[in-house]
Each structure stands twice: as C-alpha cells, then as structure tokens.
Structure 1
Amino acid sequence: MSPNVACEIPERGRASPPHVTVSTELIPGPRWRAAYPLGEPPDDEAVGPLVTSRRTGRNSLELSALCSLTDAGRRSAGAVGHALKLGVRARWFAGDDVYSGRELRRSMREFGLGYAVGASHTYTVTDGTGRRWKSHQMINKVLPHQWMRMQTGHGTKGTREYDWAWLDVRADDTPNGHGDDGTSVLVARRHRYTGEISFFRCWSAEDVTLAQLVEVICRRWRIEETFQLGKTFTGLDEGQVTCWNSWMRWSLFSLVASAVLALTTAATTTTSPAGPAHLVPLTCPELVRLLRAFVLTPSVRDAEHILHWMAWRRRHQAIARACHQRRHALQDQP
C-alpha cells in the first residue's frame, strides 16, 4: 500500500548532508473512511504524506513526518512505526504544531524516540509545581540574560541566528509501563529583529543540551525543503490523484527524480570561501537549468551564454550573502 524510495547518502564532511524522501503513504479522504473502513483505497480522495530522513555522522537517520488530515497523529505514528520495522534507525521525531498531540507524543516514546514538536502560543504546559500555564505566559519566566543566540543554519543571506531559551515542564505523555524520567522542556525561539516567539515541546530519554534540541528542531525545516524541491522541480503536486494507480506511479517517479537531484547536487557541490569574487555552491535550481539546457531538451542558446548567466547569478548571490552578513555584524554590535 505504500511505495518506498530509499537511498544512502554518504558522508562528505558537509555541515548539512542532503536529504531525500524514503517513504510515502496513502491517506484516504473522509468519504472513503466512512464507506471503506477496512478496504483498499478507492479511486478518489487520495493524498500522501511524506517521511523524510537524513544520514548523520553517527550513522543514524533523523525522521520527520508530514500529514494534512485530521488523523495526522495516528497516520504519522503508523508511518514512523513502519519505517522503523523496515530497519530505519532513528533517535528523534520532529514536526510542527499539528503533531503536538499527546497520543502521538506517547507513541514516539513507545518507539524509543525523543521528539521536538511545535506548539502554539496557547499551548498548555505544567511547570514543576503543578501549575498550568499557556506557552506565552510560561516564557515570561525567562530572564533577559537567559536567552542564548545560536546558529540554526546557513542560507543565501548568510547565517541564520535566533535567540533560544528553555524551561522545564512536566511530561504528560508517559506510556504505560514506562518511568516518568527523561528531559521534558518547553523551548522558545525568538527572532533577533522582530522579537516574534515560537514554541516547541521537547522530550528526550537522556540528558540533552539546548544546542542539541535546537539542532533537532531545525531539521524539521528540511521536510519543507523536500516538498519545495518536489513541487517546484519534479512535479510532485501536478499528478492526477483521483485514482490509486496514477497517484502511485506519479508520486513514485517524482520522488525518484527528487532523490536524483539531491544526490547529484551533493556530488557536484564544492565548498568555497564566501565573498564577492566567488560563487555560491551549485544548487538544485541551477542543476535543473543545466539538465534542461544540455540533457532534457535541445539547447536553445549556446553553452557559453548559459554558463555566463549562471555564473552571473551565483556571483550576485554571493555578493548579497556577504552584504547580509556585514549587516548582521553591524546589528550585533553593542
């Protein structure tokens, strides 16, 4: 019922290894669930979430699940459980606030995974004294000097940095037969300029640092990048999804194409110092332009013209990145 696309991503000393989709599952629409509670999927209302993973230096895979229906928790738990049974090794589950439900978090703990899921401003937590607070109220306990600025990644505009803080909260998702131990915290992320705050509910069976939780939280963004890659360049959202066979074929080919793009980009990317005189690393959009110009279709313009404008775009992206970095450095001066 669910095709699997898996590929091994070798370590190349990169700070952020490529990430690809390894599994997809069909989620039926509400009419199917009412009419066919135990049957095979019908010919309508089929949408599929994706489970993505990335290989880390510790030879493990970090999972993220994305789903769009009301039973997101149950379906996501099933997708993660299926991946674990197939031999995928993972330590963390990451998701946005759709996946902050208690049952899903309890399932992750039963699987032996830690989790880092988004939480809304009105999300209710319990402090160590047993008092219940909303997230936006709980964060008022953080003193100004307790916010820590950390890097969350690198983009075309330079290093992404946010202010982070965390507070201990009581776990409310302990599975039956499990001890009420581990690290349960509410993590807050504050934008360095606008002051906008986002919240995340996190749990780990072992002691963890705030930097480790920040790393897990930031990995959730990679599934958004995976969807963007699939929708923009491999037509993931352009296939016919009104019947089972067409959804299966189109989604599978789209995921394979996304994997090819990710691995090819990783194999051809070289690191170079940032600056106006250098180029940014080769990206998937530029790779697609090369394929369209020299492989997929006959070349409309000569090769020298295409390579000239590719270098021009990458050079100006490098200039923009350097300017943003200088601006950030000036903003951080006391």
Structure 2
Amino acid sequence: MWLESHDQSYVVATRRNDDMITTSMGTARADDLIAALPGRAWSRICAGPGAHGPREYDWARVPVRICWRPGRGHWLLARRNRTTGELAYYVCYGPRRTRLMDLARIAGSRWAVEECFQQAKGQAGLDEYQVRDWRAWHAHITLSMAALAWLVVAKTTTPKSGTHGSDGMMIGYTVPEIRRLIAALLVRRHQAKHVWWWSRWRRRRQARLSHYKRRGHALC
C-alpha cells in the first residue's frame, strides 16, 4: 500500500465483509474478527463533540497481519453505536504504541471534515458551480473555501456566549447570520440601521427559544 510504503499512518473506513489477513496468516471477514472479541475488549470513548453533545461510542480493535515494520502496527478498528448497536469498521496503520483512544479520535475527525464541507455548501456556495475545466473549478473552490474561512474567523472573534443588553439576552453571531448581514448590506444594500435591528431581533428570538427549550426539558 502506498501509504505504508511511505510510512504514513492512517485510519481508513472499510466494509464489514472485507477479508483481513490475520496474525496467523489466515483470512477472515472484518465482522467475524470483531464478533469474536470478548466484552472486555470494548471501551467507551468520546470521538469528539457533536451537535447534540459528545459523540460517545464503544470502540475495540484487533491486530491484523504479521509482517509489521519495526515499531509499526496494523489493526482492525470497530465502532459500535451505544443505542442501536450498529457497527462501523476501519483498517489502521501507525506506531505500535498507538492507543485505542488515539485511533478513535482520528476516526471521529471525519465528522469535522464533513461538517466543514456541508457548511461550505450552505454558506459559501461550494457546490454551486457550472464549469468544465480544472482551472475554473479550482478557482471556484478556492474562493468558496476562502469565503468560508473569513466567515468562520469573523464568527470566532465575537463573544462565544450571549450578549446582555437592555432588551435581554442575545446569542452570539453565527456563520449564517454574518453571511446574512453581508448580503443585506453589500448585495441588497439595505439600510444599515434596519439590518442591525433585524439581526438583534433574530438573535434575541433564538435565545428565547433556546431558553424555553432547555426549560421544557428540565421540567420533563
């Protein structure tokens, strides 16, 4: 494999019915290898923050292959949903002392990448192009990602918590809100006072809805 020949560590998703070379030089399906693991082989590990809280799953790994390079290892990694029991599988290569939590963290990083692309499509028009050559496509993608980077930087420079004012609590600026303000001021050329008023109204309303939602959950 090219990555291994260049000694590049990786965690790559694989299918449940893919054949793995075991440490005894035999072959076995990925799901069969994981099914043979005892219960103590599984550990609950947080793979990173999510929209609804920490992404906690059960993780386990089993060594595969036998011809390891000095100081390197191969593993079959499995992730189990704690609610549905659904399994996902990954093949891994890296330093022999790599911990299970490190593999889980790397496998979970794909969500951040996917969220970035989804946000770029929704807020910066990443997928809104009609081009036929590489140069035009590359220019569009570069400008879209640069625009998203600017929006994210603008968001992170604002306070993360709500802002108190004479009219109550407001949530901080979000990427969609900043994009909406720019479009209203520069594209539609609305009056700045009007745009600012609507932005404050929206953020106050979102803060109230969030407050009532949390309060409702607490009362249940």
Per the TM alignment, residue 116 of structure 1 is displaced from its structure 2 partner at its CA by 0.3
CA RMSD of aligned residues (A): 3.2
User: In the alignment, which residue of structure 2 is the partner of 1:247?
Assistant: 137
Q: Residue 239 and residue 203 in structure 1: after superposition, are their counterparts in 2 closer, same or farther (change >3 A)?
A: same
Query: Structure 2 counterpart of 1:110, which letter?
Result: S
Counterpart Cα distance in 1 of 2:219 and 2:20? 40
- Equivalent residues, number: 213
Q: Structure 2 matches for 1:54-73, cutoff 5 A?
A: none
Counterpart Cα distance in 2 of 1:183 and 1:191? 26
Q: Which has the greater radius of gyration?
A: 2
Q: Deviations over 1:149-176 (max 9, x none)?
A: 111222332222111111111167xxxx
Are 1:184 and 2:74 an aligned pair?
yes
Counterpart Cα distance in 2 of 1:108 and 1:320? 48
SS at match of 2:77: strand
Counterpart Cα distance in 2 of 1:321 and 1:131? 54
Per the TM alignment, residue 139 of structure 1 is displaced from its structure 2 partner at its CA by 0.9
Per the TM alignment, residue 109 of structure 1 is displaced from its structure 2 partner at its CA by 2.4
User: In the alignment, which residue of structure 1 is the partner of 2:165?
Assistant: none
User: In the alignment, which residue of structure 2 is the partner of 1:137?
Assistant: 32
Task: State the TM-score, normalizing by the size of structure 1.
Answer: 0.55
Are 1:209 and 2:99 an aligned pair?
yes
Q: Is contact 1:157–1:325 with CA below 8 Å preserved after alignment? A: no
Q: Percent identity?
A: 26
Are 1:309 and 2:191 an aligned pair?
no
Q: Structure 2 matches for 1:1-334, cutoff 5 A?
A: 106-170=1-65, 179=69, 181-270=71-160, 282-299=173-190, 301-314=194-207, 316-317=209-210
Per the TM alignment, residue 201 of structure 1 is displaced from its structure 2 partner at its CA by 0.6
Per the TM alignment, residue 309 of structure 1 is displaced from its structure 2 partner at its CA by 1.6
SS at match of 1:204: strand
Task: State the TM-score, normalizing by the size of structure 2.
Answer: 0.80
Give 5+ residue unaligned stretches, structure 1. 1-105, 173-177, 328-334
Q: Residue 229 and residue 126 in structure 1: after superposition, are their counterparts in 2 closer, same or farther (change >3 A)?
A: same
Per the TM alignment, residue 302 of structure 1 is displaced from its structure 2 partner at its CA by 4.6
Query: Structure 2 counterpart of 1:137, which letter?
Result: D
Q: Deviations over 1:1-54 (max 9, x none)?
A: xxxxxxxxxxxxxxxxxxxxxxxxxxxxxxxxxxxxxxxxxxxxxxxxxxxxxx
Per the TM alignment, residue 182 of structure 1 is displaced from its structure 2 partner at its CA by 1.0
